[in-house]
Amino acid sequence: SGSAGLVLCDVPGLVAGAAEGVGLGHAFLRHVERCHVILHLVDATSIDPLGDFNMLNRELARYGSGQLANMPQVVVVNKVDAFGEYSEEEILKLTREELKDGLGESMDHSRLMWMSAKEKEGVEDLMGRMAKFVTSVKQKKVNEVVSSH
């Protein structure tokens, strides 16, 4: 695809209370500390996608010194193919627009993307943008170190 190499750290199953060590919280969060960017995958078919997103951000803020909450983030809503699959009786908990508005209110940035891993829609775009964004964040950190000396 022509995009630069990108190292990803998958942090599955983070649960409420992870900052206090519930589940494998500390082990997972220690890995996140070494990352440059946090990519939140929000499941469009979740019972409470906004609640899931907000819980994760609360745990990031509560862990250690709270620095994880200040890391650059990209939010990606996955399973967007589901927005067209459901009949009236099986409507998703939130419409695409409601989810977009709710996430927008919770985010302090505008890096929101939509994809369907199942249909491979938006995946290439995501990886290309992530590679550029991570490179930019890493370069900014280098510049800050150089200018502080």
Along the 149 residues of the chain, how does pLDDT read in single tens digits?
455 567 776 666 665 665 566 555 556 667 677 788 888 889 898 888 999 899 888 888 887 787 888 889 899 999 998 876 654 445 567 888 899 999 999 998 899 999 999 999 999 999 999 999 999 998 888 888 888 87
pLDDT at position 133, please? 92
Long-range pairs, 48-54, Cβ under 8 A, ≥24:
48/93, 49/77, 49/93, 49/94, 49/99, 50/94, 50/99, 50/102, 50/103, 50/106, 53/103, 53/106, 54/106
Q: Which amino acid is located at 129 in the chain?
A: R
pTM, entire model = 0.79
pLDDT at position 89, please? 46
CA triple 138-144-147, angle to 5 deg: 140
pLDDT at position 48, please? 87
List of E strands, 8-114: 38-43, 73-78, 112-114
pLDDT at position 69, please? 84
pLDDT at position 86, please? 59
Q: Are strands 73-78 and 112-114 parallel, antiparallel or unpaired?
A: parallel
pLDDT at position 36, please? 85
